[in-house]
Amino acid sequence: MGRKILFITTDQMRYDAIGANGGAVARTPVIDGLAADGVSYDRAQPQNVVCMPSRATMVTGQHVGHHGVWMNGVPLPEDAPSVAAVLGGAGYRTALIGKAHFEPLLDPFLRFEENRIGFSGRPGAHRGFDHMELATHGAVGFNHYANFVRTEHPEAIGGFFQVLDADLDVSGVGGGDTGAPQVKLNPIRREWYHTDWVADRTIAWLDGLEADADWFCWMSFPDPHHPWDPPESERSRVDWRELDLPVGYPESPAEREAILDAKPRHWRLWYDGELVGNYEAPAKWVPNTLTADQVREVNALAHIENELIDEAIGRVLAAIAAKGWADDLDVVFTTDHGEFQGDYGLLFKGPYHVDSLMRLPLIWRPAPSAAAEPGRVSRPVGLVDLAPTFCRIAGVDVPEWMDGSPLPVDDTDAAARGFERVLTEWDSRQPDGTEMHLRTITRDGWVCTTYRPGTVHDGTEGELYDLELDPLQRVNLWDDPARRSIRDDLVADLVDHVVEPTSLRRTEAPV
């Protein structure tokens, strides 16, 4: 028997969401326990800050330029390589339960296999996974969770926030106590909510495996991605009225605006409601209307969702232990990208390469039988390194088509194996023609973003932050003559290592 691999992802979770990374609100004892017994990565970044490109990187181990999913709505090609197929070839049983999103969600013609599997009502095999059982952020679309709610609890459908408005734009309708966008009191029972459903279906799949099976299970929670509509019964866990404002939220409008004005122009344009650079951000919502109380309420709901995830993980780990697999179980926990959650006076995400969206929680708790030393890694790693890590755990050679490397176990290992930099890219072309192209390198305590020419930028703009002296990335040093040398060095290094797409494939849906 080999090692079992439980790969846990959340969606749109911040680095500081969990106790192990300094989070002081959400109680996450299970995840914190994994961190205490494993390796935590303090500079883990996605290769793109929206779902589809980031998830494509996780399943392929490739940079965006190689897998080709350059923005949401661009499907991962049917024949793209998959770490699940590699592990399956080594005898592993494989499953993805929860949110996949390698293919577009908005698909009325049912052109994409994920949606066809979901529409069929039965789990299906796809992308090397023997078993796909799918969910997204509510009871809509062609997925198994929506089927579950529609058929078994139809009265709960209307409890979720309705994500698209009559114009098929992402809705910014407010709710809750403060009128915050995409907040809704959801009367659904906790055990019917997608977080518990994902855990239940994971346990059911594990229960069907032979005792001596080796397995790889990607358990993919849709939360804490907006909308923020967790079960109303859980709202008493965190009272938004008692929350401190996040350190990233400048309470004074003048201070917020001064910070934004020092960044490339799309920051302030979005804040003022003059530009929306990402379809997933509500089209009609203007960030400068966001109030401090709305920031508190959104944060409270995200914390609640994270507590529910932690408890769901605990149930799954208990089920695994009951099967006698605990000693051989590797657990990898991370997310696909972050969330502003009030930083700079913003919510959601978009073409903004700062820690709010780029610094992710990442924990690898090796199997206890491996007797690995716990620790923290400060050197930069990427989600591109996950698939090679799964291969290493399974004792399989890392395929040449993977761009990443197995995660280091400590900083000495990281230094020896060349973990010096991590790259993050953004490309977008919106239906209205708006185009933005960002390339970012994080290295030696600096984060440096260049802008290619588009409809908003002329290609001369940039951002440069000193992560040690300016952990909130408020002071843009791009035009500081005293930092010109480090800027030039970082840009040259970025150019040397970035993997550019050979072409931008067709966008098949807005999301």
Cβ of residue 280: shortest distance to another protein, in angstroms?
Answer: 11
Q: Per-residue x/- marks for another protein, 41-80, CB under 8 A?
A: --------------------------------x-------
Phi, psi values for residue 192, rounded to 5°: -100, -10
What is the rounded distance in angstroms from the CA atom of residue 96 to the CA atom of residue 208?
Answer: 15
**From candidates 177, 232, 466, 508, binder to another protein by CB under 8 A:** 508
What is the crossing angle of helices 292-322 and 194-207, to 10°? Answer: 10
DSSP3 helix / strand / coil % (the chain, rounded to 5)? 35, 20, 45
Q: Per-residue x/- marks for another protein, 276-315, CB under 8 A?
A: ---x------------------------------------
| Residue 119 binds another protein (CB under 8 A) | yes
| Residue 506 binds another protein (CB under 8 A) | yes
C-alpha triplet 344, 162, 136: angle, nearest 5°: 85
What is the rounded distance in angstroms from the CA atom of residue 409 to the CA atom of residue 376?
Answer: 8
What is the rounded distance in angstroms from the CA atom of residue 463 to the CA atom of residue 114?
Answer: 38
Residue type, 300: A
Count Cα neighbours of 404 within 13 Å in the Cβ-side half-sphere.
33
Q: How many residues bind another protein (CB under 8 A)?
A: 22
Candidates 17-25, 34-42, 106-114, 174-182; binding stretch for another protein (CB under 8 A): 106-114
Kindly write down the DSSP assignment for every residue of 188-216, as one continuous string.
Answer: --GGGSHHHHHHHHHHHHHHTS-TT--EE
44-76 burial, b for 16+ CB within 10 Å, e for fewer?
Answer: bbbbbbbbbbbbbbbbbbbbbbbbbbbbbbbbb
Tell which positions 431-460 bind another protein, by CB under 8 A. 431-432
**From candidates 1, 79, 109, 236, binder to another protein by CB under 8 A:** 109
| Residue 401 binds another protein (CB under 8 A) | no
C-alpha dihedral, 125 to 128 to 133 to 135, nearest 10°: -130
Candidates 124-132, 152-160, 164-172, 212-220; binding stretch for another protein (CB under 8 A): 164-172
What is the rounded distance in angstroms from the CA atom of residue 390 to the CA atom of residue 388?
Answer: 5
Residue pair 327/3 in contact by the 8 Å Cβ criterion: no
| Residue 107 binds another protein (CB under 8 A) | yes
**From candidates 108, 469, 481, 485, binder to another protein by CB under 8 A:** 108
| Residue 341 binds another protein (CB under 8 A) | no
Candidates 166-174, 189-197, 400-408, 447-455; binding stretch for another protein (CB under 8 A): 166-174
**From candidates 106, 173, 185, 491, binder to another protein by CB under 8 A:** 106
**From candidates 166, 254, 371, 482, binder to another protein by CB under 8 A:** 166
What is the rounded distance in angstroms from the CA atom of residue 335 to the CA atom of residue 257?
Answer: 30
Candidates 36-44, 76-84, 103-111, 483-491; binding stretch for another protein (CB under 8 A): 103-111
| Residue 121 binds another protein (CB under 8 A) | no
Candidates 4-12, 91-99, 162-170, 333-341; binding stretch for another protein (CB under 8 A): 162-170
Binding site for another protein (CB under 8 A): 73, 104, 106-111, 119, 142, 166-169, 279, 431-432, 506-510
